[in-house]
Amino acid sequence: MITSEEVTHYIQNIPPAPAVVRQALDYARAGDLPKAAKCASEDPALRHYLKILVNRPLYGFKNEVSDVSQIFSILGVSATVQTLYNYLLSLLTPKKWELFTLTDHQFYDLQASLSKRWEKILLHLSVNDKELHSAIALIPATIIVCEALFASRKAEVVQLRSVKALDFNTILKRLSGRDLFDLAGEIARTWEMSDKTISLIEGASGLRETLNAEEKTLSQWMHLLLFYELSQSVYVSAGLNEFIDFQIDFVGDIYEPFMQVMA
C-alpha cells in the first residue's frame, strides 16, 4: 500500500515555485500582465519555456514569438496564469519516465493541448474565471504524482499489470485508496484553490452524484475533454488513457456541441 503520508509528501512538493515565478504568478492573478512579464523575463529557464510553448504548432503563429510581454499579451490573463502553473509542473517532470512511456516534448504537448482546448470550452460556456481556467493544470500535476508513486513501486505495478492485466487507475486505487481525480482534488487543496475548482476536478470523474447544475456542466465538459485528449494514440501508448473510465451517460447530452467546439 501507498500510505497517506507518502501521497502527502509528493503533493506537497508541487509546485516548488522559485521566488521570481511566484511573483509573476501573483501579478498575473491580479491581472497585471506587464509586471508579470517583467518578473518572468528575469528567469532564463521560464523565458525559454514560454518561447517553446507558445511557438508550438497548436498556437498557429507564422512568425516566432519570443518577447515575454508579447507572449503574455497573446495569452491573456487566464491563460498566462495557467501557463505559469504549467511551467512549475515542468520543473517536476521526471528526467526519465519510469512507468508512462512519455518524452518531455509529449508531456509539454499534453499540457499545451489541454490548456488550449479547455480555454475554448470555457469561452464557449461564457465562463470567465481565472482559477477555473487554471483547473486543467491539475491533471498534468496528478500524472506527475502518479509517475512518482508508481516509480517507487515499479516491480509491484509491473506485476499487477502483467499478471492481472489491471489498468493504471485500478492499480492506483488498490495501492493508495485514491483514483486520479481524488489525487487531483488533494493537489487543488494544497494549492489552496476554491471549493468550486475542487468540486469541478473531482466531478470530472463522471462518478460524483452531489453536483449542482454549474458544477455538473463544467465537470461534463472536462470529463469529455480528458477522454478525447488521452485517447490520442501517443497517450494511449503511454498508458494515460487508462486513468479515464469513460462515462458515456454522464456526457451524452453534450457530445455534439463538444465536437463542434473541438473542430
The number of domains in the chain is: 2
Distance of alpha carbon 60 from alpha carbon 66, whole angstroms: 14
* Residue 38's pLDDT band (cuts 50, 70, 90): very high
Domain membership of residue 4 (yes or no) is: no
Instruction: Give yes or no for residue 240 having a pLDDT over 70.
Output: yes
Distance of alpha carbon 251 from alpha carbon 258, whole angstroms: 10
Instruction: Give yes or no for residue 236 having a pLDDT over 60.
Output: yes
For 18-22, 41-45, 140-144, 253-257, which range has the lowest pLDDT when averaged over its residues? Answer: 18-22
Distance of alpha carbon 163 from alpha carbon 29, whole angstroms: 48
The grid coordinates of residue 212 equal 449542482
Give yes or no: residues 171 and 80 share one domain: no
Q: Give exposure, 84-96, as e/b (b: 16+ Cβ within 10 Å).
A: bbbbbbbebbeee
Which pLDDT belongs to residue 198?
93
Which pLDDT belongs to residue 14?
61
- Inter-residue contact 100 to 240 (CB < 8 Å): yes
Range of the domain at 31: 17-91
Instruction: Give yes or no for residue 216 having a pLDDT over 90.
Output: yes
Domain membership of residue 42 (yes or no) is: yes
Give yes or no: residues 109 and 66 share one domain: no
Q: Which of 53, 73, 91 is the last residue of a domain?
A: 91
Give yes or no: residues 214 and 84 share one domain: no
Task: Give the position of cell 497573446.
Answer: 74
Give yes or no: residues 58 and 182 share one domain: no
Give yes or no: residues 105 and 87 share one domain: no
Give yes or no: residues 84 and 106 share one domain: no
Give yes or no: residues 30 and 116 share one domain: no
Is the backbone of residue 5 left (phi > 0), alpha (psi -120 to 50) or beta?
alpha
Contacts of 56 (CB under 8 A, 6+ apart): 108, 109, 112
Q: Which amino acid is at 54?
A: V
Higher pLDDT: 16 or 231? It is 231
- Inter-residue contact 2 to 11 (CB < 8 Å): no
Domain membership of residue 220 (yes or no) is: yes
Mean pLDDT, residues 171-197 taken together: 89
Q: Which of 51, 72, 91 is the last residue of a domain?
A: 91
Helix (H, G, I), strand (E, B) or coil at 97: coil
Q: Which of 58, 91, 124 is the last residue of a domain?
A: 91
Domain membership of residue 3 (yes or no) is: no
Which pLDDT belongs to residue 17?
59
Mean pLDDT, residues 155-176 taken together: 87
Give yes or no: residues 121 and 240 share one domain: yes
For 100-109, 179-188, 247-256, which range has the lowest pLDDT when averaged over its residues? Answer: 100-109
Q: What does pLDDT average to over the chain?
A: 88
Give yes or no: residues 120 and 245 share one domain: yes
Helix (H, G, I), strand (E, B) or coil at 126: coil
Instruction: For residue range 64-84, list pLDDT tens digits in order.
Output: 888 999 999 988 988 898 888
Give yes or no: residues 28 and 135 share one domain: no
* Residue 197's pLDDT band (cuts 50, 70, 90): very high
Which pLDDT belongs to residue 13?
65
Instruction: For residue range 90-135, list pLDDT tens digits in order.
Output: 777 888 888 898 988 888 889 889 988 999 999 999 998 877 888 8
- Inter-residue contact 85 to 36 (CB < 8 Å): no
For 14-23, 173-182, 211-220, which range has the lowest pLDDT when averaged over its residues? Answer: 14-23
Give yes or no: residues 126 and 239 share one domain: yes
Domain membership of residue 109 (yes or no) is: yes
- CB-count burial class (<10 Å; 0-12, 13-18, 19+) for 175: buried
Distance of alpha carbon 26 from alpha carbon 195, whole angstroms: 20
Contacts of 153 (CB under 8 A, 6+ apart): 2, 175
Give yes or no: residues 114 and 32 share one domain: no
Domain membership of residue 8 (yes or no) is: no
DSSP string, 163-221: HS---HHHHHHHHHS--HHHHHHHHHHHTT--HHHHHHHHHTTS------HHHHHHHHH
Helix (H) or strand (E) holding 118: helix 104-124
Higher pLDDT: 152 or 239? It is 239
Distance of alpha carbon 23 from alpha carbon 41, whole angstroms: 12
Task: Give the position of cell 515542468.
Answer: 90
Please tell me the chain's helix, strand, coil percentages from 3-state DSSP, rounded to the nearest 5.
Answer: 70, 0, 30
> Is this prediction's pTM over 0.85?
no
Mean pLDDT, residues 179-186 taken together: 93
